Structure 1
Amino acid sequence: MKGLAMDTSALLWYKTPADDWNKALPLGNGRIGAMVFSQPLEERIQLNEDSVWSGGFRERNNKSALPNLEKVRKLLFEEKINEAEKIIYDAFCGTPVNQRHYMPLGDMNVIHYKESECDFKSRSLDLNTAICTTEYAINGVDYTREMFISQPDQVLVMHITASEKKAINVRVRIDGRDDYFDDNSPVHDNDILFYGGCGSEDGINFAAYIKVLHKGGKVYPYGSFITCEDCDEVTILLGAQTSYRCEDYKGQAVFDVERAEEKTYAQLKADHIADYKSYYDRANISLSDNSSGNSALPTDERLALVKEGDPDNKLIEMYHNFGRYLLIAGSREKTLPTNLQGIWNKDMWPAWGCKFTININTEMNYWCAENCNLSELHMPLIDHIEKLRPNGRKTARDMYGCRGFVCHHNTDLWGDTAPQDLWIPGTQWPMGAAWLCLHIWEHYLYVQDREFLSEKYDTLKEAAEFFLDFLIEDKKGRLVTCPSVSPENTYLTASGSKGSICIGPSMDSQIIYELFTAVAEASKILETDGGFRKKVLEARDRLPAPEIGKYGQIMEWAEDYDEVEPGHRHISQLFALYPA
């Protein structure tokens, strides 16, 4: 790793290239993402842009929900769970079933076209600089590729150097997936315009523009490639834009690259590092090095030793640093929030649609935003709540006859709020907007910005209004949600019935308690809306409190049910412990 300082808590490095997407190294500027494989002879850079989704907005509220709401509630109170779930499956799930899903932009390839063998040295991601470096040798010549994605200049940058003059012979191209693109041909001697669309009549169109700059040698088009022959240095710039943000998305992608081209590589790199470090350097964790020398090993070898029981505090530091890095790389002001996989996705139909899964995943992405002094990076999530509000009002009214706004366990880039999937353990969960709104309150608690709180008070209030209408009395006179689920879990009743749809799961009551508390406190701070404050506090006092079950556990449901799958991966009943 020539030229790299060994920071054992901030340098991910490996002795072999990535042979699998999950082993590639992620780069990002909040909007453009890349997974770097560091294959020396035939490099693949898998590309994403945060607004490349599968189509336009869909109106998906199930009009059959409201006429069947009381029937479902009656069946649940009678513990006729299977009958209730059959109605939920048909009358409450979204129509159509799916929200829009996230998609990859394409792949950039950089190929050494004259060589067939090489000696691979190392690949690394320096968390101090957000730069990925690949080192290898071909026929006694040492090569280095540096790569980063600049937020100030809004471009991906790859810089290739060699230990000898006239040694760089590579071809560069960009390709799409599953025919979801229209062209990837060179435009002039040293540039390619790649563009296409994602589908649906009002879907998203995208463009990526590559320009190849060189010192020494020559550059020329060759088929769908740009060929670099006998060059001393090569710099590749890539810009990407979509119709989601820009009417002239092709022109904007070209503009981004041509503006970046006005800087030298050294200037681009320096500006990128300065911007990145202005966030990354705000927090630090320092633990004693107890690794007995293991901390100098490649990252994958260190992980293997920890799995065997060897201590490595510096690897714990790296884990903390990597989490902060991913938030900085995946969530910047004016971008979309990080989705189920951040901004990194290789699949046209990714797992769970790679949407914003808001029954824990999206919220968890932002758990380090405030306590690691990255408050600005919280704003894409908070901004996205405003997209939910108009759609969520319609969902609340059409499906439940309630005021306020609601969202279920997923949303997409359009702020879709209707139930997602046909999966009973997850779909029918009306708490997504409420949990997201707690991020508004969390942000205020850290930054103490009264103007921000005043601006967002109506959003908090609307989320609470929904539950003032939606909550019903259970047999003990408590106010509970119905119908709902404890996310992704299934229970077993004393009579042997299995179910997921239920009355008053513990997590719901805990989220609503926090929401009502936040609204009441905000009202008090802002010295406004005392009547509404009184209503939410009265309702809060009637919510079920956390209870201890027959095994000494915190009960997950309002009744002391058994889990069908003991030790389930979701521990929703502990929301009151964390994050609340």
Structure 2
Amino acid sequence: MKIAVVSLLAAALVPLKAPAQGAYTLHYDKPASTWTEALPVGNGRLGAMVFGNTADELLQLNEATLWSGGPVSPNVNPGAYAQLAPARAALKAGDYAGAAGILTKMQGRYSESYLPLADLRIHQQGVGQVASYYRDLDIRDGIATTRFSAGGVNYRREVFASAPGQVIVVRISADRPRALSLDIGASSQLRFAGQAQDGAIVLRGKAPARVDPNYYKGPSEPVVYDDPAGCRGMRFETVVQPRIQDGTLEAADGKLQIRGASEVVLLVSAATSFAGFDKCPDSAGRDEHALATAPLRTAAGKSYAALRAEHVADVRSYFDRVDLRLGGTDGADRSALPTDRRLEDYARGGRDPQLEALYFQFGRYLLTASSRTKDAPANLQGIWNKDVRPPWSSNYTTNINLQMNYWPVEAANLSEMFTPLDGLVRHLAVTGAETAQSYYRLPGWVVHHNSDIWAASNPVGDLGHGDPKWANWYMGSAWLSRHLWEHYQFSGDKEYLRSTYPVMKGAAEFMLGWLQEDAQGRLVTMPSTSPENVFRYGDGKENSVTMGSTMDMGIVRDLFTNVTAAGAALGVDADFRARIAAARARLLPFQVGARGQLQEWNLDFDEVEPHHRHVSQLYALHPAREISPLATPDLARAARRTLELRGDDGTGWSLAWKVNFWARLLDGDHAYALFRNLLRLTKDSDPAWSGHGGAYPNLFDAHPPFQIDGNFAGTAGVIEMLLQSQNGELHLLPAMPAAWASGSVRGLVGRGNFVVDIAWQGGRLASGEVLSRLGGQCTIRSATPIAIPALKLRSQKSALGYTLTFDTRKGARYRVVPG
């Protein structure tokens, strides 16, 4: 068929005014008093939290590979396998408590901790009474700025983390010559030796050999530097190199003293001895000194203007791929208000669609700023952490949180940021194969619920101190394999699929061996939990361990479906695909409980916490696609009932997951209501955690405490409201909330590598455009009739809205209009 092509010009979208000056800016009228008020900059490897103080500025620094510990053999509990058969026997006998007790004997060591690098302090002399204070973070440029006046002088600081330059750059300037007198020092919470000499600060340090989680109160020391039985800790180095215009520079009392300068530019570089997940960072580590100083030599030959320009060009090359503009009944622009004030007004019910769009783009900014380091994906806090024992070790939590970090990566047009997670998954396939053999005598690979930069794969718990409801969870390899398949679905990169197929297949091989027959001859996981919930059974007894939890069965179905599709796409492994198909047909089916809900466990137990933050039984609805209103309406109704019973409150990341759930159920107003809750202002001064999440003044997600996964899942949830593609089609505006009556989005990506622009008025499609990067067949679904004028095609009525299917040509653009 001959293909005609028509491009949709920007003018064809609904006419909306250009974004206001502050559309991409978080800004405040006072310095940060807490870490969750400071502003994050990052280049994917180096990160800084900028406080914006006047006389005593603080930048808290991080480096993506700075972790405690080193490689640890997965076989740290040689007696684990002997416990598996007794645990299964107890489950078959209905002895859930006995099974849980046995499982604690199958646990290994805790994962290691992501660590803070250094504190950079800048004392500015002569700052007395301050006026005209302002600080901001421009997420389109990736620059944090602080401005204030004192003594008749206007001061300005700019901070950015340059990916092209691999340095953090701090520029301090004044509008009066020679007005800058500064004392600059650096320190670390880790063991370090620092000195200021030869015009620079050099801080050299050592990470601990082991750091136990912040919640662990066991018999061992929580932080261990000298561990003769294991690998000694990682080395690191931080260098602060100033360039001054006018004035003098001297070293004294471990600090740099700058007097009478007109401008100061600090170049901050850092590196660690990390050499790979399987190499001791001490005995086999890289040369951190050479790695830290090399970027400084390159940056020394560039002016501040050149460093800034190449940084801005780099950040914008990713940021500008997607543009979101939201309107509604109230078009007032509140961007002139400080961001914390906007959050306060919003929490009182105010309308602020520009703030909602800013929050969406902030998630994209954070992903670009924290996920650009090979083999070191964004952790629970991205790359920003101030504590030696941060919440949950700031590790890779694989029973949802690590995966949640990467939900928006493909659809938000940031596919390159997936590379660090891809690297970690491949490493986990190596360590996970050892764990599968040593713990379970099974082929393939397995990952439990915590990991780290060393690709830890064993069940954690320090040999018996972990609760099985989170420690003894076996589904990490299967869930992570979904992301490998997703990357192929969005990119269409057949060579990538060929390289990663053995990893996906290995996860399926483990699951084939892990599945057991229940009393009815159905295949179930055994033992099994539903993270991190507890059920009630018998005469008021409580436990978390059973067989065939709904989440497990959804993950296995999803894995088998994806591996089958991958093998078919490559034309390989017909026999293996047949084995998977036969096993899939015998899996315990999804079950609807007495309350009309999708059951969470194999039996219709009551939850001890009916409003638990995890809604794990709905994995098949999101992120998977086994349940949908179109293909499985009865199960979709059960999923809806589950959400109704679970309630609309929760921690930050839980709220964000629920946004995605409701969007998948095509209920945009309910999704939007939960999205608003993501922006409930939370402050560190609030009472102890009550389970109600929201956003800190700097827009970081409040679990609380801070977890970045809520930011990323919130961004993903907005995309799910505007575009879905999990069912082999581009569903335009599938869950449009009434609050977003008009607007436009440009640059979202659907599976099949289609780039989609959409504009809407009155909640209905006004126009759209599809760019086909690969060619191939495309199906579009819409709630209202649509047409492609250039192809003289009109949509057909379907069971859910209207669909239109057409062939595309690689590189061609197709205009979509109401029809």
Place the TM-score, normalised by the shorter chain, in its bin: over 0.9
The superposition leaves residues 2-40 of structure 1 with CA deviations (integer Å, 9 ceiling, x where unpaired) of xxx953431101111110011111111111111111111
1:278-312 CA distance string (max 9 Å, x none): 11111121111635343321111111111111111
Find the counterpart in structure 2 of residue 559 from structure 1.
603
Distance 1:145 1:220 in 2: 21
Higher mean C-alpha displacement, 322-331 vs 553-562: 553-562
Whether the 8 Å contact between 2:333 and 2:352 is mirrored in structure 1 is no
| Residue number among 110, 119, 140 corresponding to 2:122 in the alignment | 110
SS at match of 1:195: strand
1:554 aligned counterpart, secondary structure: coil
Matching of residue 206 in structure 1 with residue 236 in structure 2: yes
Per-residue CA deviation, residues 198-233 of structure 1 (Å, 9 max, x unaligned), is: 133432100011101011111111211111111100
> What SS class does the counterpart of residue 40 from structure 1 fall into?
coil
Residues 544 and 296 from structure 1, CA distance in 2 versus in 1: closer, same or farther, beyond 3 angstroms? farther
The one of 276, 279, 289 equivalent to 2:318 is 279
Corresponding position of 2:145: 133
Offset from partner CA, 1:464-509 (integer Å, 9 cap, x none): 0001001001123221111121111111114422111121111111
Q: 1:385 — aligned with what?
A: 425
Task: Assess if the C-alpha contact under 8 Å between 1:291 and 1:310 holds in 2.
Answer: no
Tell me how large the CA RMSD over aligned residues is. Answer: 1.4
- The structure 1 residue matched to 2:135, chosen from 96, 116, 123, is 123
CA distance in 2, matches of 1:521, 1:48: 40
Match of 2:97 among 72, 82, 102: 82
How far apart, in 1, do the equivalents of 2:21 and 2:233 lie? Answer: 45
User: Contact 1:8–1:314 at 8 Å: present in 2 too?
Assistant: no
Q: How far is the alpha carbon of 1:80 from its aligned partner?
A: 1.3
Q: Counterpart in 2 of 1:545? A: 589
| Mapped contact 1:104–1:346 kept (Cα < 8 A) | yes
Alpha-carbon deviations, 1:363-386, whole Å to 9, x = none?
111111000111111111011111
Partner in structure 2 of residue 247 of structure 1? 286
1:186 alignment partner in structure 2: 196
Which residue is 1:156 aligned to? Answer: 168
Separation (CA, whole Å) in 1 of partners of 2:391 and 2:239:
28
User: In structure 2, how many angstroms separate the alpha carbons of the residues matched to 1:223 and 1:251?
Assistant: 26
Local SS of the residue matching 2:101? helix
Which letter does structure 2 place at the counterpart of 1:222? A
2:631 corresponding residue in structure 1: none
Q: 2:37 aligns with which of 12, 23, 27?
A: 23
Q: 2:504 aligns with which of 442, 460, 480?
A: 460
The Cα of 1:60 is off from its aligned counterpart by 4.6
Alignment TM-score, normalising by the size of structure 2: 0.68
Matched, 1:40 2:43: no
Q: How does 1:521-532 map to 2 (within 5 A)?
A: 521-532=565-576
1:118 is displaced (CA, Å) by: 2.5
Closer/same/farther in 2, CA of residues 304 and 253 from structure 1, 3 Å limit: same
Q: Which segments of structure 1 move beyond 4 Å, counting only runs of 4 or more?
A: none
**In the alignment, does 2:396 pair up with 1:351?**
no
2:113 equivalent in structure 1: 101
Give the alignment partner of residue 196 of structure 1, picking from 182, 205, 212. 205
8 Å contact from structure 2 (residues 375, 422) kept in 1: no
- The residue number in structure 2 matching 1:533 is 577
Matched AA of 1:382: D
SS in 2 for 1:119: strand
Runs (5+) with no aligned partner, structure 2 = 1-18, 210-230, 276-284, 625-819
Distance, in Å, in 1 between the alignment partners of 2:526 and 2:375 is: 35
| 1:430 counterpart = 2:460 | no
Tell me the residue number matched to 2:781.
Answer: none
* Equivalent residue for 1:373, pick from 413, 423, 427: 413
In 1: Cα distance, 2:613 partner to 2:416 partner: 31
CA distance in 2, matches of 1:366, 1:329: 13
2:749 aligns with none
- Structure 1 counterpart SS, 2:251: strand
- Write the mapping of 1:413-492 to structure 2, written as runs, cut at 5 A: 413-421=453-461, 422-492=466-536
Moved more, 8-17 or 511-520: 8-17
| 2:188 partner letter | G
**How far has the Cα of 1:559 moved from its partner?**
1.1
Letter in 2 for 1:271: E
AA of the residue aligned to 2:59 = I
Deviation string 1:379-431 (CA, Å, 9 cap, x unpaired) is: 11011111111211111111111110000001110111001231222111001
Q: Is the 8 A contact 2:20 2:335 kept in 1?
A: no
Residue 363 of structure 2 is matched in structure 1 by 323
The answer to whether the 8 A contact 1:75-1:84 is kept is yes
SS at match of 1:340: coil
Instruction: Report the count of equivalent residues.
Output: 570
- The verdict on how the C-alpha distance between 1:181 and 1:333 changes in structure 2, with shifts beyond 3 A counting, is closer
| Structure 1 CA distance for aligned equivalents of residues 304 and 590 of structure 2 | 58
- Structure 1 unaligned residues grouped into runs of 5+: none
Question: What is the TM-score when the length of structure 1 is the normalising length?
Answer: 0.96
Structure 2 letter corresponding to 1:507 = M
Partners of 1:87 and 1:229 lie apart in 2 by 67
Residue 261 in 1 paired to residue 292 in 2?
Answer: no
- Contact 2:234–2:273 at 8 Å: present in 1 too? yes
- Structure 1 pair 217–239 and aligned structure 2 pair: CA distance change class (3 A): same
Does 117-126 or 261-270 show the bigger shift? 117-126
SS of match in other structure, 2:121 = strand
Q: Which residue of 1 aligns with 2:743?
A: none
Q: C-alpha separation between the residues in 2 aligned to 1:8 and 1:117?
A: 27
Q: Matched residues in 1 for 2:157 and 2:591: separation?
A: 57
Identity of aligned residues (%): 39
DSSP-derived class of the 2:194 partner: coil
Range that drifts further, 470-479 or 371-380: 470-479
1:454 maps to a residue whose letter is: R
Alignment-mate amino acid for residue 133 of structure 1: T
For residue 120 of structure 1, report the CA deviation from its aligned partner: 5.6
SS of the residue corresponding to residue 156 of structure 1 reads strand
Shift of 1:259: 1.2
Task: Supply the distance in 2 between the matched residues of 1:318 and 1:7 (Cα, whole angstroms).
Answer: 12
Q: 1:78 to 1:496 in 2, by over 3 A?
A: farther
